[in-house]
C-alpha cells in the first residue's frame, strides 16, 4: 500500500530561505522513503493573508482526499486556525513549526499577542506537531499548550562536504548567510563592524533581499552611513553552488540573529569547518557547540564587536575553533535520519 500525505506550503517551494529549504529537502527525502507527497501551494501572502487568500488556502486544503494526512507549514497554519477547525474531523492534521510567528523580530506587542492566540488555536486542531529543535519543542509546549507527547523534533539535516580552504590574500573573509529580515540582526552586525575598520576584513552577505524591502533598504543605508561599501558585498539570493563557494573561501562565519528555530546556516558553516560567531537566540546554542564558535547575547553590539576583533586578530584562535567545527561536523543530523523521524510522526497519527 502506498503511503500518501499532502504537504501544504505558503507559496513557491523554491523560495530561498531556510524554512523552504527544509520543506524542499524533507519532501524529497520522504519520497525516497516511499511516500507519495502531494505538494499544496497555499499562496504567497502568508503570514499576512487577505480574506481572499485565506479562502483560497482553505479551499485547496479541503480539496485533499479525505483521510489523507496533511502537513501544514506553520508560516501559513499559524494564521489559519479556522481551517484547522473545519478540517480536523476529516483529516489528520500535522503542523510543521520552524519558529513561532509571534517571535518574529519587529512584530508589535499587540500583533505578537494576536499571533500567539491564533497559533495556539491552530495547533490545538492538530494531531501532531513537528519542530526543528528541542528549544522550539519546549516553546511549543510551554507557550502554546501542545502536549509534549504530540511534539516530534525532526532537525534539518546537513550534507557532508569538504572543509573550507579559507582565504590567502591577507584579508579575513567573513561570511553571513540569511534572508535580509530584521530577525537576522544585520543592523547589529554592521554596527559592530563599523568599529573594526582598523582590521583587515571583508564581508559577504548572501540572502534574499525581497522578503522585507524595508530591512533591505536599512541594510544598504547602514552600510553607506558607516562608509563600509568597499568592504561589504551584499549579494542577494544565490544558487546553492555559489553559496557553497562562499563557504569554501571564508575564514569566519558570522550571523547576529535575534532568534533561530534551528539555524541551518550555522550548521552549514560547521559542516564546512568554519569557526562561527553567533548569538544565544533560540536554538543557536544547541546548533553551535562552544568548541566551534563564540556566541554573544542578541542585540549586544559591543560583545559582537569584541568577539569579531578577537577572532579577526587571532588566527590561532580561529584555527582552534575551526578544528572544533570539523569535529562537530561529524555529529550534525543527516537528512535521511531526520526524514525517518518526520515520517514516524506522520505514521503515528494514521
Residue 37 forms beta bridges with which residues?
Answer: 5
Cα distances from 111 to residues 55, 213, 238, in angstroms, run 22, 20, 32
**Mean of pLDDT values over 51-60:** 94
Instruction: Count other Cβ atoms within 10 Å, centred on residue 261.
Output: 25
pLDDT tens digits for 5-23?
999 999 888 888 888 999 9
Residue 1 has pLDDT above 80, yes or no: no
pLDDT tens digits for 125-150?
999 999 999 999 999 999 999 999 99
**Mean of pLDDT values over 339-345:** 97
CA distance 237 to 3: 35
Tell me if 3-157+333-349 shares its fold with 172-329: yes
Residue 204 forms beta bridges with which residues?
Answer: 175, 233
The angle subtended at Cα 213 by Cα 207 and Cα 214, nearest 5°, is: 115
For helices 186-193 and 213-225, the axis angle rounded to 10 degrees is: 0
Q: How far is CA 213 from the centre of its chain?
A: 19
**Mean of pLDDT values over 93-105:** 93
pLDDT at 141: 96
**CATH class of the domain comprising 172-329:** alpha beta
Please state the pTM of the whole predicted model. Answer: 0.90
pLDDT tens digits for 222-257?
999 999 999 999 999 999 899 999 999 999 999 999
- Express as a percent the part of the chain with pLDDT over 70: 100
Residue 2 has pLDDT above 90, yes or no: no
CA distance 260 to 263: 5
The owner of cell 533560540 is 282
Question: Do residues 93 and 78 touch, judged by C-beta distance below 8 A?
Answer: no
Question: What residue spans define the domains of the chain?
Answer: 3-157+333-349, 172-329
Average the pLDDT over each of 13-17, 57-61, 111-115, 165-169 and give the range with the smallest value.
13-17
Q: Is 119 helix (H, G, I), strand (E, B) or coil?
A: helix
The owner of cell 553552488 is 241
User: 3-157+333-349 belongs to which homologous superfamily?
Assistant: Glycogen Phosphorylase B; (3.40.50.2000)
Question: Do residues 251 and 172 touch, judged by C-beta distance below 8 A?
Answer: yes
pLDDT band at 168 (very low <50, low <70, confident <90, very high): confident
The angle subtended at Cα 270 by Cα 329 and Cα 199, nearest 5°, is: 145
Q: How far is CA 79 from the centre of its chain?
A: 19
For the chain, give the mean pLDDT: 95
pLDDT at 18: 84
* All three cell numbers of 107: 512584530
pLDDT at 101: 92
Amino acid at each position: 500500500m502506498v503511503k500518501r500525505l499532502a504537504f501544504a506550503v505558503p507559496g513557491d517551494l523554491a523560495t530561498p530561505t531556510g524554512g523552504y529549504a527544509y520543506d524542499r529537502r524533507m519532501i524529497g527525502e520522504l519520497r525516497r522513503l516511499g511516500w507519495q507527497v502531494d505538494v499544496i501551494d497555499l499562496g504567497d501572502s502568508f503570514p499576512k493573508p487577505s480574506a481572499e487568500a485565506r479562502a483560497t488556502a482553505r479551499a485547496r486544503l479541503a480539496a485533499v482526499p479525505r483521510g489523507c494526512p496533511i502537513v501544514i507549514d506553520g508560516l501559513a497554519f499559524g494564521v489559519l486556525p479556522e481551517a484547522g477547525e473545519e478540517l480536523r474531523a476529516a483529516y489528520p492534521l500535522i503542523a510543521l513549526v520552524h519558529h513561532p510567528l509571534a517571535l518574529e523580530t519587529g512584530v508589535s506587542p499587540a500583533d505578537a499577542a494576536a499571533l500567539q492566540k491564533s497559533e495556539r488555536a491552530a495547533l490545538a486542531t492538530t494531531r501532531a506537531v513537528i519542530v526543528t529543535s528541542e528549544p522550539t519543542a519546549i516553546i511549543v509546549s510551554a507557550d502554546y499548550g501542545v502536549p509534549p507527547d504530540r511534539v516530534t523534533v525532526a532537525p534539518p539535516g546537513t550534507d557532508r562536504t569538504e572543509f573550507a580552504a579559507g582565504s590567502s590574500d591577507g584579508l579575513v573573509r567573513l561570511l553571513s548567510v540569511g534572508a535580509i529580515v530584521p530577525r537576522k540582526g544585520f543592523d547589529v552586525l554592521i554596527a559592530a563592524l563599523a568599529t573594526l575598520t582598523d582590521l583587515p576584513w571583508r564581508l559577504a552577505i548572501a540572502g534574499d533581499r525581497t522578503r522585507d524591502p524595508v530591512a533591505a533598504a536599512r541594510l544598504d543605508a547602514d552600510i553607506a552611513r558607516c562608509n563600509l561599501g568597499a568592504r561589504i558585498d551584499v549579494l542577494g539570493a544565490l544558487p546553492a553552488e555559489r553559496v557553497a563557494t562562499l563557504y569554501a573561501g571564508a575564514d569566519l562565519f558570522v550571523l547576529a540573529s535575534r532568534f533561530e528555530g534551528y539555524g541551518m546556516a550555522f550548521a552549514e558553516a560547521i559542516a564546512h569547518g568554519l569557526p562561527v560567531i553567533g548569538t544565544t537566540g533560540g536554538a543557536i546554542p544547541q546548533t553551535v557547540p562552544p568548541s566551534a564558535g563564540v556566541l554573544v547575547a542578541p542585540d549586544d553590539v559591543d560583545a559582537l564587536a569584541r568577539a569579531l576583533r578577537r577572532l579577526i586578530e587571532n588566527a590561532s584562535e580561529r584555527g582552534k575553533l575551526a578544528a572544533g567545527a570539523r569535529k562537530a561536523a561529524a555529529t550534525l543530523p543527516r537528512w535521511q535520519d531526520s526524514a525517518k523521524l518526520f515520517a514516524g510522526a506522520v505514521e503515528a497519527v494514521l
